[in-house]
Chain A
Amino acid sequence: MKKAIRVEKEDNVAVVAQETLKGDRLDCSGLEIAAGADIPLGHKIALVQIDEGSTVVKFGVPIGRAKLPISTGDHVHVHNVADITEELCNDYEKKFRSAGA
């Protein structure tokens, strides 16, 4: 069976370990998922449904925000995920610095 790697247990995406075609069944570190789209090698597959506005979690941390509803098995990338790096870093830094002020 084709494979995808879920790095941390709390991740809601996994990285596909080979070129994947729509309909392929994948073993995602123990979770069996059917690909809902063609997914290139090294790209991400959704392990659960991710609602619009909720966070995409990889490496156990939020890496972006769903800008569309994402279904289980979907290709997760720039077309459906917003980059919220600045927001995450700035919010943290502001809170951290003001906490000790």
Chain B
Amino acid sequence: MREIQAYLRPDGQVGIRNLVLVLSMVSCSNTVVSRIAQKTGAIPITHEQGCVEFEEDHRRTKLALLAAGRNPNVYGVLLVGLGCEQTSMADVKQAIADAGKPVEGILIQEEGGSPGAEARGVEIVRRLQEEAGKQQRVPCGAGGLVVGVQCGGSDWTTAVAGNTVIGAMADHVTRNGGSVLMSEVMGFPGSEHIVAANAVSREVGLQVLDMVSDLRAEYVELYGQTIEEVNPTPGNKAGGITTLVEKSMGNVRKMGNSPVQGVLQLGDPIPRPGLWVVDNRAQGPDPFNVTGFAIQGANVTVFSSGRGSPVGCAVMPVIKITGNPVTFRNLESITDFNAGVVVEGKPIPETGEALYELLLEVAGGKPTKSELNGNVEFTIPREPARKKPRDGCSQGGV
């Protein structure tokens, strides 16, 4: 079993970074959060929500905020609120404290306004940073890694090189006792028979098929057309994709070949290590999906992009790879790994192994391009309100 040098958190989780976060409770406190972060170098999380939200939307906002604080890469948190917002600072604070982390909160209305809140916040963050600096990396099993896999900005190399190499790496992660999280479930229809056949049990196979049946019905309800009627798109076909199975396989290749352990809803704890599907249906830019992994407690994400992407995450390193050697040459400033060697003839298994080695280096502290460039995206994934609750495995009895 491989080993990494990492931070062992009070709740037993393994952190590969030791961050101090400044978390905004409501968009009204975003500016104070940004200023505190600028003065201290702490990581800011700002967003456009936190007040006058419908129940389900607000549940998601709260989940995202408290999960950011609970993420194993985080040492401690300062919460900054206005004082009259919908987000309950007490609830968020309690949830983060329950993970054994130092957490403090300030309200602009109680600090004499923004300048007072800023000064107080800077003072608290500096203290948290001093305590964080005393934390030491210790030897931890590589099984503590929870790795999100994703793609975005795809081109013809994404399926055959980028995602296939990520899949080969994912098998090393699970073989060493770690976890892999796969989302992008809107891209599952067309390969659900392959994913379900890879399920650890009949029950999990049914979870996958049920999720995809539900997704297909959602398409018909929302757009009045089946997914097969509009896929592959004319653009896909021009690029060489012939059928929907082929398109969809390009997506699920990232999962590798380990048995699928179950389908998780956002916020469900991961019951045991292995490969998991996260049913995040937010349709939007790539940070929606990365943030979903951060909410699930991933400590790192590996992201392939044929065209190149700078996307990072407030609470974890995002390792950017490309299957396109030209993109790697042009965009090395935002790309960590060249999987384009595969289209130049290098075998996939050894390229996947090299990516796993990079993953371990990053876990041990090597900064990713997303970190060096200060990419700290955190975009709360928004989904249309559900008419009926879905069964995740925390409810489904796995």
Contact = CB atoms under 8 A, between A and B. Distances in A.
Nearest to B203: A100
Contact of B246 (A41, A64, A97): A64
Given A5-B161, A89-B190, A97-B209, A43 B345 contact: no
B193 A15 contact: no
A58 B240 CA distance: 13
B244 A96 contact: no
B228 A86 contact: yes
Query: How large, as a class, is the contact surface on chain B?
Result: 35 or more
B122 to A, nearest CB: 52
Query: Per DSSP, are chain B's interface residues mostly helix, strand or loop, or mixed?
Result: helix
B244 A43 contact: no
Interface in B134-183: 155-157, 159-161, 164
Contact of A7 (B190, B206, B348): B348
B398 interface: no
Interface in B194-226: 194, 196-197, 202, 205-206, 209, 213
Contacts of B248: 85
B193 A88 contact: yes
Contact of A62 (B245, B342, B343): B245
A17 interface: yes
A43 B160 CA distance: 11
Contacts, number: 96
B369 interface: no
A26 B338 CA distance: 23
A92 B228 CA distance: 17
A84 B193 contact: no
A59 B253 contact: yes
Contacts of B160: 5, 7, 15
A73 to B, nearest CB: 16
B244 A44 contact: no
A79 to B, nearest CB: 9
B344 A3 contact: yes
B151 to A, nearest CB: 15
A88 B245 contact: yes
Contact of A63 (B161, B228, B237, B249): B249
Interface string A1-18: 001010100000001010
Nearest to B197: A92
Given A5-B160, A96-B196, A61 B240 contact: no
A37 B50 CA distance: 59
Contacts of A61: 194, 245, 249
Interface of A: 3, 5, 7, 15, 17, 27, 29, 40-44, 56, 58-59, 61-64, 76-78, 81, 83-86, 88-89, 92-93, 96-97, 99-100
Given A58-B246, A59-B164, A61-B249, 5 more contacts: A3-B343, A5-B343, A43-B240, A56-B242, A81-B243
